[in-house]
Amino acid sequence: MNEKVVERLAQAKSLLVITGAGISAESGIPTFRGADGLWKNYRAEELATLDAFERDPETVWQWDDWRRSIIGKAEPNPGHLAIKELEDMFESFLLITQNVDGLHSRSGVKNIVEIHGNLWRVRCTREGKVSMLMDIPLKSIPPKCDCGAVLRPDVVWFGESIPSYALDLSFNILEQCDTLIVVGTSGVVYPVASFPQTVKDNGGYVVEVNVEPTPISAIADASLYGNSGDVLPMVVKWLRERKGIKA
């Protein structure tokens, strides 16, 4: 482990962690884009749109039911659990995740922005009411609200805007945090891809954790290459030793 990285993290006053599909892949969850996400000859980009849902909600929900069946068998991995430990170590902490699988919440993280939504939440297309729907498999497709209207997944589809509350909270912490750890993200999906540069522009310190270099590598102060399930527990272990915290 890079001692400079540990020393800098130990001095952090406000820690922000951003995660992408890479950390969930270590729990056996495919990216659902490209070959991994091919379902009945459909690509994710063809199904995860409002147009597709309005045209054929049954097919979109059949696809999401398949995804939920895969995600439901997954468990938080050591990377997820290490991030929860980081939350416990810092008074000022926020996790921004691009993942919709809910694994971070299941690991116990409280201060979290699910910037692309959560596949286990549903939203009424008539009333806008949001609730959890945990059934695997779904009892009816498409599922319906008590009011009779069709429910939709409470996720951000291609072409949709990220909810303003999620963006406002994210931008607020970006202005305040002095340290950022970016985990398992390709660094190409905006607006999150711009967040590391924002932290840098504000004088912050950026650490990247990934299995390979990404566009973020060019601006990161340190890049720790490897699986997050290996790297993050090691970071936590060294931080505990540095801060004198017993496990």
Catalytically active residues are 116
Place of tokens 């409470």: 154
Place of tokens 């650490």: 207
Distance CA 171, CA 198 (A): 9
Tell whether omega for the bond before 153 is within 30 degrees of 0, i.e. cis.
Answer: no
- Would you put residue 128 in left (φ > 0), alpha (ψ -120 to 50) or beta? left
Distance CA 185, CA 176 (A): 22
Classified as helix, coil or strand, 134 is coil
Distance CA 40, CA 37 (A): 10
Burial of 199 (0-12, 13-18, 19+ CB in 10 A): buried
Question: Which DSSP letter does residue 204 get?
Answer: -
**Token output for 201:** 């522009």
Partners of residue 207 on adjacent β-strands: 181, 222
Classified as helix, coil or strand, 115 is coil
CA torsion sign, 223 to 229 to 230 to 232? positive
**Token output for 222:** 């340190």
